[in-house]
Amino acid sequence: MRILIAEDDAVLADGLIVSMRRAGHAVYWSKSGEEADDLLAREAYDLVILDLGLPRMDGLRVLDRMRKRGCKTPVLIVTAREALEERVRGLDMGADDYIAKPFDLPELEARVRALLRRGQCGATNEICLGSLSYDAARKRAMIKNQPLELSAREICILEVLIRNAGYVVSKRQILESLCGWEEEISDHAVEVYVHRLRKRLDGTGAAIRTIRGLGYLIEDSARE
């Protein structure tokens, strides 16, 4: 799962990043409200862990803007603001859960798991492009209802691309989607895996384009 952590406290953010990556998630960190707002406008995430006291744009403003854009990504507010009015306001503006600092990490991890489960239940697991379909719950790709044999790494890369279909995915994002692997993976290795995946998808209508200097984009070639 892709998780965005919007938190300006580097020590706290580092702890959250380690915890979420240990659980197998791809984690992205923004240090300001403006940066978080920009990332949320351009990329898709499965969960946002959002601090209210962010610099350059308050967390509630970030939340308000993402909901007005129609973004339904679950949001867990993490803040030192313990006043009842702040909790109520955040929930009324579209937050899905709330935890006050200081907190116990196991409790936050449990809340994250609950929100991710809730998000999966409310979302369509199958994503289709051309004759390719991808079942995110089963980690399975199909071409015209026939299984497509892919390696575990190719599945990881396909998932991060297809979840962001129509948007550019950087090599950094792909590397972070593979963060659970023990050995370090190079940029060159990413290029090799994408090349192999592109060949396997040939003829399906799901085309992987290289956007020079930016990354990769998957789209339905029939709609070009």
Picking from 35-39, 89-93, 177-181, 213-217, which range would have the lowest pLDDT averaged per residue?
Answer: 177-181
Q: Name the CATH topology of 2-121.
A: Rossmann fold (3.40.50)
Domain ranges of the chain: 2-121, 126-223
Architecture in CATH of 126-223: Orthogonal Bundle (1.10)
pTM for the complete prediction? 0.61
> What span, in angstroms and rounded, lies between the C-alpha atoms of 75 and 98?
9
Nearest Cα residue to 190 out of 162, 160, 219: 160
* Residue indicated by tokens 């190079």: 186
Residue percentage of the chain with pLDDT more than 70? 90
Please choose, from the candidates 87, 19, 21, the residue with its C-alpha nearest in 3D space to the C-alpha of residue 59: 87
182 pLDDT above the threshold of 70 = no
209 with 217: CB under 8 angstroms? yes
